[in-house]
Amino acid sequence: MDQELLSLAKEIMKNENEKTLAIKTDKESTKTSLPIYPAITNLADVEPEEVRFLWPPYIPFGKLTILEGDPGLGKTFLSLCVCAAISNGGVLPDQEGKPAIQLSKGRVLFMTAEDGLADTLVPRLEMMGADRSMISCLTGWRTADSEEEMAFSLADVNVLRAALDETRPDLVVIDPLQAYLGGGVDMHRANETRPLLSNLGKIAEEYSCAVLAIRHLSKGSSKALYRGLGSIDFTAAARSVLTVGQEPVTKQKAMAHIKSSCAMNGVTLSFDLHSEFGFVWSGVSSFTVEDLLAVPSAVKDEEMEKDNRLEEAAEFLYDVLEFGPVESKEIEKQAKAASIKWRTVQRAKEKLDFKAFRRGDRWFWPQLSRMSEIKNGIDGADDISSDALRLKGSAPSAPKEISGIFDDWSSIGTEINNREMTF
């Protein structure tokens, strides 16, 4: 009797541990008993870990980051700027737009399907002061018994692992992502792209490297999160999404942080593409991602609003500087009290075309005289001559082409502006 009870208990336990899985074949419907062993992790056994960032909060380690934007707006330039900073242990901007994020020197694995190495990537990296010995490119692969090089795709997981084992990069750049999906993969079908993206995320976590994938935008949706080319699964799989666009008024380029699963979204950073210096960060942008992606007809009201803000900032400068020069730090303090963004004040200064000067180790903005022909605001400032503005004590500034290139302007005689540093 005891033996029968024991056998019955064993049978019950077996049925409990080995669920019955129904499998239907094309030929006939049958039921086959297959053992199922679910992978279950009790969260009490998991030690919490903080997310590490290559560039906080924009690019996390061990995760997939997507950088997207329309052609010609500087996506590749921006990625190369990050590569250069990693290669030589340089700096990237913080949440105030200042060059304050110090990177550890590391390696980069770059994949490009659109730009030549010798005529495009290398000249741009040299322009940015990169240590090219720390940057490698994955151009293809071959077997041990063949000299023929084959094209690489993200489906070639073993090839990617071998490349990562050899280079041990801190950053992997894929430019553009759609070029490496492999033949036969429709990037608009989630069921086809999801496995590739999942593998990419797992490999990033396994090798503790950041993966930056570049993709183009579509013309369809007005919402930034849905503008990326291909399935929404690309955006869903990424832990961070950066969008490059153009400011509607200034025409400056800017990078907006539209998704972050690892931290609060970072501020929008503006930048310029310079023929001599390559990539130049120029501070925090006041524009939203909707502004950056909007078609011209859709931003007329926004442009008018920005013009009004610029006019307000110009009137503010006339009031503050009416009775004599004022230290730049005091102007910034008063602008903050007046709820006028410092970036807008700087743009008004540029529009009015006057220069700062230095007394000792302090910088001052000169006295301004308000003339009748410009009392209506900055709208007519384009035609203001030097006779229309009375400037006192102004000192020569550096040429505009090299503004913000040096850490210390004391030997040149112009105002230091940390928000316009190049690195």
**Cα 303 from chain centroid (whole Å):** 24
Evaluate whether 126 touches 118 at the Cβ level (below 8 Å). no
| Domains with residue ranges and CATH for the chain | 53-293 (3.40.50.300), 297-420 (no CATH)
Q: Please report the beta strands in 248-298, taking only residues with DSSP state E, as ranges in sequence order.
A: 253-260, 269-274, 278-284
For residue 295, the model assigns a pLDDT of: 58
Summarize pLDDT for 284-331 with one digit per residue, the tens. 999 988 888 875 544 445 556 677 788 888 888 988 888 889 998 899
pLDDT higher than 70, residue 373: no
Which of 193-197, 232-236, 390-394 has the weakest average pLDDT? 390-394
| pLDDT range class, residue 54, cuts 50, 70, 90 | very high
Summarize pLDDT for 213-237 with one digit per residue, the tens. 999 886 655 565 556 565 678 888 9
Question: Taking the alpha carbons of 120, 125, 126, 132 in that order, is the dihedral positive or negative?
Answer: negative
Query: Mean pLDDT across the stretch 3-29?
Result: 54
**Cα 21 from chain centroid (whole Å):** 47
pLDDT higher than 80, residue 196: yes
Supply the angle between the helices 342-352 and 300-320 in degrees, to the nearest 10.
80
Pairing type for strands 253-260 and 269-274 reads: antiparallel
CB-based contacts of 335-338 (< 8 A; 24+ apart in sequence): none
Evaluate whether 306 touches 248 at the Cβ level (below 8 Å). yes
Summarize pLDDT for 109-152 with one digit per residue, the tens. 999 998 899 999 999 999 999 999 999 999 999 988 888 889 99
Which of 173-177, 340-344, 400-404 has the weakest average pLDDT? 400-404
| pLDDT range class, residue 398, cuts 50, 70, 90 | very low
Q: Please report the beta strands in 42-180, taking only residues with DSSP state E, as ranges in sequence order.
A: 53-55, 59-60, 64-69, 91-93, 99-102, 108-112, 135-137, 171-175
